[in-house]
Amino acid sequence: MKWRSALPVLFLAIATQAQPALAAPNKEHLQLLAEIRMLQEQQQQLQALIGALQDTLKTVTTKLDDQAAATRKAMADQTLAVTNIGDNVRMLREKTDETNVRVSSVSQEIEALRQATTSQPQPQGMASPTTTLTPGGTPPQGPPSTAPQTSGTSPIQPLNNAPSPQRMYDTSYDDYTAGRFDLAIDGFQNFITTFPRLPKAADAQYNIGMSYSNLNKWNEARDAFQKVVTDFQQQAQGTVVPDSYYKLGQIYEHLNQIDNAKRAYETVVQKYPNSSTAALASQALQRLNRR
């Protein structure tokens, strides 16, 4: 029975000795818990900062998207405006070209009327504006007029019958395109004789050379193209002159006059480098130089 009465005392002694041993682990545990709480608070702060940064990033991205959309719209509007301006410029250029053609046609009509007027014979039997009157108020009697009289017709040809230069040129060009080269040559020659100072005269002379070329009449074609570059160079328009030099080079090749052909091609390349035949002339010249 004595050992039973000694048990409480033993337990008390054991508890008293165990308290210092348990106190140290509890202190470390509490310190770890405090550090864990601090880390959790820092993590919450970091999450809050990340959320704020995400919101800011979304706002910036939205603004950038809006600016990009506005920029694309502005560029599309500018592109449309430039396209419209280009279309308007093209339309104006076409209208300007059409107006120039009409002005040129009217100028040719006026020149034709002027030449037709100057070529009309003077009427006969008309009183001179310096005729003096007799004291009785009547002009002096002179010899009767010997001018031929026609029944109701005037010796002056009406101006309405004057040939139209455009119509005359178009008729000859129709013969040329239809392969009626002999008729085309006669028509173009008549055009040059009637309207030698019109710009179309150079084109007519060029077409005469082309007609002779199609007929394989190389000497006549050579003379016709040579006349373009010597007689019509001042009034020629477009590429008639460089084209004539190029055709001269081809004709000289047919005639086996290689040096003359080279000189003709060199003239096109050197004097008319921007013409449509400059590249062809350069190729022909290189081909002849490789012989």
Q: What is the pLDDT of residues 67-88, one digit of tens each?
A: 898 888 888 888 877 877 877 7
What is the average pLDDT score of the chain?
78
Residue 204 half-sphere exposure toward CB, CA atoms < 13 A:
29
* pLDDT of 159: 44
Q: What is d(CA 49, CA 127) in angstroms, rounded to the nearest whole number?
A: 117
Q: What is the pLDDT of residues 232-252, one digit of tens each?
A: 988 888 889 999 999 999 999
Helix (H) or strand (E) holding 215: none
Q: How far apart are CA 243 and CA 249, in angstroms?
A: 10
Provide the token pair at 247.
């055709």
The pLDDT assigned to 272 comes to 93
181 pLDDT higher than 70: yes
What pLDDT sits at residue 178?
A: 94
Q: In angstroms, how far is the first alpha carbon of the chain from the final one?
A: 145
For 15-44, how does the pLDDT look when each residue is reduced to its tens digit (9 = 90+)? 556 555 556 678 888 888 888 989 999 999
8-state DSSP, 125: S
| pLDDT at position 206 over 90 | yes
- The pTM (predicted TM-score) of the whole model is 0.48
